Amino acid sequence: MTMFRPPFFARVAAGAAVYALEETRRLPTAAVNFPITAISQLLQTTMHAQQFVTSLALKGDAVFDRLANRPVEQPEWATFDEDIEPEQTFGSPFDSARVSRFDMFSEPEPEPPAAPEPAPEPEPAPAESVTVATASSNGSGGSVEVIEPEVAARYDYTNMTLAQLRARLRMLSVEDLTALLDYEQQTRDRAPFVTMLTNRIATVQAQ
């Protein structure tokens, strides 16, 4: 069974009637809410208007600031010489050539004084004779030759220092010490050497 469907215009008319009925039912509620809605819309419109006016005022302030702060152009005739910075002039190659030629004919700088030559080192005095020495005999004006003992030649006693002699004392016998003491007393007779040899002889003999 086919359902009957009215024409389009009939359906539109029926829908309009239903809409009118619904709006009629809403009239009491809309009438109550109308003052509140109108006031809120009025406030919103007023706020939008104030914001728009404020934005226009700000734009106007910006325009006046630009006009007030615009720099005043100074005419060229009012520029003083002190305001003009001197231009840097670079020397031409001819100037450098003139300077270099002048430098070529300038007086040469004095040479620094030569360092003094080092003084020659003094040559060491020749060592005293190792084999033979001269000594006075019995207070007379004559002299006798003193033969160097074997122990003195073995240890190079003539060129030995006091510290070297002290290091050698423990290796020497009483005969060697006595020979060195006699040789020292007959030649240079140095008091520190004589004392050291004498004390060592007494120590060895006491042992």
Distance separating alpha carbons of residues 9 and 118, to the nearest angstrom: 138
List the one residue out of 126, 179, 190, 177 whose CA is nearest residue 148. 179
Give the mean pLDDT of 2-25: 78
Is the pTM of the predicted complex or chain greater than 0.95?
no
Lowest mean pLDDT among 32-46, 67-81, 116-130: 116-130
Amino acid symbol at 113? P
CA–CA distances in Å: residue 54 to residues 50, 60, 68, 109: 6, 10, 21, 83
Q: Whats the size of the chain, residue-wise?
A: 207
Taking the CA atoms of 160, 161, 167 and 168 in sequence, report the sign of the dihedral they define.
positive
Query: 188-203: per-residue pLDDT in tens?
Result: 999 999 999 999 999 9
Q: Could you say which DSSP state residue 7 is in?
A: -
Between residues 132 and 45, the one the model is more confident about: 45
Query: 55-112: per-residue pLDDT in tens?
Result: 777 777 777 777 777 665 655 655 555 555 655 555 555 455 555 554 555 555 666 6
> Is 159 within 8 Å of 182 (Cβ atoms)?
no
């020659």: which residue's tokens? 120
